Amino acid sequence: MKIFKQIFDFYLNSSIHVGMSCYALVRITQQLFEIPFDASMSYFAFFGTIVGYNFVKYDALARIHRRNMRNELKTIALLSFCALLAVGYFFLQLQRITQILSLAFLVLVIMYTLPFFPNKRNARNWAGIKIYMVSICWVGVTVFLPIINSEIPLMASVFQLAAQRFILIFVLILIFEIIDLKYDDPYLKTVPQQIGVLNTKKVGSFLLVLFVVLEFLDRSFTTSLFILKLGIAMSTMLFLLFANEQKSKYYSSFWVESIPIFWWLFLVVFG
């Protein structure tokens, strides 16, 4: 039993699960806009998420304890290097405009992790900005890059989906911020730190209602898709309402991050 827990923890700690979530959101975009499966874009997002998240989580730790890294961290570093090679391979198969935009998102990730100016904090530690930068990156990679790479015009329905995607990612991060409240540096000024847990849940709930309402703006509105998005919004709201500082890491790192995966699977089966 212990070996299965170690494998599962490695799956989470190495960001494979969050990579699957990103992959699922890309596939959702492709399916909603009837884009044939684009392996290059899908796998670029999957491997890029693994590289980006591991870079953000472990960069400082690896630089400080480079000679004394534990075996799991060394394995994650090796996995990240292999993922980086895969990112380079699939990057070369993307459209030129997609490559340029993906580099712009790469700059955001670098700013988020490394100090942009000498003797200054990185963007991850800029008070109150973290949640917006992460949400924008996810919207860019999972909505705009697949659309642009498929040469689909940026219609109103694209921006409607982008708005919904931003709301969903924003609320998912709110759940993480509530659970991590006792660990986060007060300087970060996360949403729960600024307005409290109860008000954070109210804001998140309001945003999820807006997420559902935006569906009515879609010209290709269908009852089945509406019910599916309503289910996603309600599930996310339940995770938000029951979030607290005592929840285990699996509550957020596995179950909350599984929401996009379940959304994609339901869309494949019932969409």
Entry pTM: 0.90
Tokens linked to 135? 């949400």
Q: Is 60 exceeded by the pLDDT of residue 118? A: no
pLDDT at 144: 95
pLDDT digits (tens, 9 = 90+) for 161-212: 999 999 999 999 999 999 988 877 777 788 998 999 999 999 999 999 999 9
Compute the CA torsion angle 210, 158, 33, 216 (nearest 10 deg): 30
The confidence band for 12, taking pLDDT boundaries of 50, 70 and 90, is very high
Give start and end residues of each alpha helix (H) in the chain. 2-13, 16-32, 39-64, 71-91, 96-113, 130-139, 145-149, 156-179, 191-195, 197-213, 223-241, 249-250, 259-270
Mean pLDDT of 69-78: 82
Tokens linked to 162? 């982008």
pLDDT digits (tens, 9 = 90+) for 89-103: 999 999 999 999 998
The confidence band for 55, taking pLDDT boundaries of 50, 70 and 90, is confident
CB atoms within 10 A of CB 259: 20
Q: Is 60 exceeded by the pLDDT of residue 122? A: no
Mean pLDDT of 59-85: 74
pLDDT at 110: 72
